[in-house]
Chain A
Amino acid sequence: MVDFGTAELTLEMIQASQLGMKAIGAGLAVGLTGIASGIAEMAIGSAAVGATAENRDVFGLVLLLTVIPETIVIFGLVVALLLLF
């Protein structure tokens, strides 16, 4: 039987797994913040479409309100980029 607990880790393996962890972290940072932005924009977007249907003039304003939560995912992307590079 192989005892995984005491398998020897070489320096390369550790470095490689650290690199992988970074990539996972970066992926999580973008993915989770993306979901969060999506949830936040969901309600704003539907309200914005409703408001635009009522009054065409507010289009610019509601477009603006809709993209406000985009900041969340941008921060996620920034964190991911900083992790990777």
Chain B
Amino acid sequence: MLRPERMRRLLIAAPKGEIDTIIGELYRHNVYHIEDFVPESESAEALSIGHPLPGASDVASALNDVRAIENACGINPDSVEVREKLPASKVREMIRTDLPAILEEVKGLVATRSRLEARQKEHEQRAKELEPFAAVPLDLDLYHGYARFTVFTGHIAHDVSIDVPHEKYFSDRVDGNMIVVVVQNEYREQVERTLLDAGFQAIAVPEGTGSPADNQKAHIAEAQSASTEIAEVNEKIAGIRERHTDFLVACDELLTAEVERAEAPLRFATTEETFITEGWVPDDRADRIRQALEKVTNGRIYIEELEVDDAARVPVEYENPSFASPTQVLIDLYARPRYSELDPTLMVAIVFPIFFGLILGDVGYGAILLALSLGLRKFLKGDEGRMLLKVLSYASISSIVFGILYSEFFGFALPWPPLIFSRHLNIGGEAGGHGPQVVELMILSIWIGILHITLGRILGMVNSRKFHHGKHAKKAVIANAGWLGTMWGILILIWSFYAIPMMPDLTGFPVAIAVGVVLLVAGVIGIAQENALEIVELPTIISHVLSYARLVAVGLSSVAIAMVINFIAIGMLIEPQLEAITPVGVIIIIFGILVFLVGQTLNLALGILGGGLHSLRLHYVEFFTKFYKGGGIKYNPFGMKSKFTEE
């Protein structure tokens, strides 16, 4: 909580004879984050990168085959539902016996399919070339073989009259018209000029004999038969997918694991007889893996726990209570925390839904979003997508809660008055009560901003102690305090000159002015002592606090859109027709319902974007910039959670 998981750095050394067992054991435990060995050229010791285990290339080529089959059959292991786990020994056996046959079959089918596709394309092309000639009542062999005549064939903009002896066919039934002119050779140039003036574009006469129309029909028939054959092949491939998907994804998983194991020595340092690897293990699991390794090697292993000297090299794994862990996806979107800094996940997990609810506080929208986020869980297979849906479901619950407080349901009022501040706008002239309490809401959002930023700065003081050492740490802490002092100084000054509702009224206390000035000046000095250039950033104090006004502004605009849609659909279209129903009235009522549905859907989409992005942005820009750096290495343990196979 609030800190990434503690890590321990292990150095493992063992004779090369044990490399297989050790890699297998590490892989099974799936907790050891290998730090890749980088040989230093000046290193005096004779350390070099290890070689892959024997058989690595065979396994890799088998994996290649499996992936090729999966590709051809359109199988994506990530989106395959696990039906039953196959035992690894059986899968290994089947890789030897069944896989080659399947590969052969799929290869054959894919080759047939591509040959058929080529044939289909060719015939389609030929049919297309014949199309203009089919419009002319001439056999194909009549177009060539003359010594004294020239034949012009091509597209032309319009029919032309030719003033020399000739034979001419014109058709406007094809795209770009078709003209065929036969003249004696001596008139050739003259006719050509006439034709070119009319936009003549020559096209070559296709090979063949007989009527072009029959030829074209034949080619189309050929293309069609090819396409039926392609459909048959596709069906066969679908059949293979049907029968073998479980086996193929199991193969993929097993072989991927084997390739990873076989190539692990590439990340180790080796000498003639031994190998050495360094890596990271979560604190609470270090002892278990140590004991396990010692047991499988019968003590033929040396494990030493090294000191963590450089925090920047430590891989980072989140450690959060389960309700907060989906929010990690939002933090990863920005940057994973560094090992030494505070992990803001928990705070974001609590505050993000509240902001979302403040913006999109509506029981109807919240309920739809909740249903959506629960329903989509079936279709989204990836981990990240599921985590996002979890976050969305929390946000929509908060939206429902705030909807009850605001008394809003698709922009309509619920049967009770708003329990906190009202956002009911006077649209359509029927709003009761005291109208929207915009000023109060605005001040509430400013308060949220002040508190959120104050929290950020306090966290900044904690964090800067961890980032910097010695003198600089102290300076950074003072600078953060300076920002805090400046902000509160400005606030106290404002309060002592103006009486603002819902905020302390200090207008009667001259002492407050003095306190404000002292805080402000001390704050600015505090900021300047770390870096004088930071002074130019001072206006951000005000703009960042005011930025929280979006919690109200974006929310109000979404309420306004919902109310306008309701007014147009119900007040203007449906209600007047209900007084006396006529046939035209029914159509108008249906149109009104359509306007309502489309409008509300659009507004809901806008609401997700507005509520989500703006809440997120308030965290990223206004909150994180006060304390959070990020940029840690992702903890990526050596191993895999097997989905489709079991040992």
Contacts and interface: CB of A to CB of B under 8 A. Distances in A.
Interface of A: 59-61, 63-64, 67-68, 70-71, 74-75, 77-78, 81-82, 84-85
Interface in B197-217: none
On chain B, which size bracket covers the interface?
Answer: 20 to 34
A74 B613 contact: no
Nearest to B610: A70
B248 to A, nearest CB: 27
Nearest to A64: B620
B556 interface: yes
A85 B439 contact: yes
Given A77-B553, A82-B438, A85-B435, A67 B617 contact: yes
Contact of A63 (B546, B547, B613): B613
A71 B438 contact: no
Contacts of A74: 547, 549-550, 553-554
Interface in B515-550: 543, 546-547, 549-550
B599 interface: no
Contacts of A60: 332-334
A83 to B, nearest CB: 10
What is the interface of chain B mostly: helix, strand, loop, or mixed? Answer: helix
Nearest to A67: B617
A80 to B, nearest CB: 9
Contacts of B438: 81-82, 84-85
Q: Give the most central of B439, B614, B620: most A CB within 10 Å.
A: B620
B103 interface: no
Contacts of B436: 85
Interface in B318-338: 332-334
9 contacts: A60-B332, A64-B334, A67-B613, A68-B621, A71-B550, A74-B549, A77-B557, A78-B549, A84-B438
Nearest to A84: B438
A82 B439 contact: yes
B617 A64 contact: yes
A77 B552 CA distance: 10
A74 B554 CA distance: 8
Contact of B442 (A63, A67, A68, A81): A81
B640 to A, nearest CB: 22
Which 9 residue pairs across A and B have the least CB separation, nearest first? A60-B333, A85-B438, A77-B553, A74-B550, A78-B549, A64-B620, A81-B438, A67-B617, A74-B553
A82 B442 contact: yes
Nearest to A78: B549
A67 B615 CA distance: 11
A60 B619 CA distance: 13
Nearest to B624: A64
A78 B442 contact: yes
A77 B441 CA distance: 14
A52 B333 CA distance: 13
Contacts of A68: 617, 621
Contacts of A63: 613
A70 B334 CA distance: 19
A71 B547 contact: yes
Contacts of B621: 64, 68
Contacts of A64: 334, 616-617, 620-621
A70 B613 CA distance: 11
Given A59-B333, A68-B621, A85-B435, A78 B543 contact: no
Contacts of B613: 63, 67
Nearest to A60: B333
Contact of B543 (A71, A77, A84, A85): A71
A7 B556 CA distance: 40
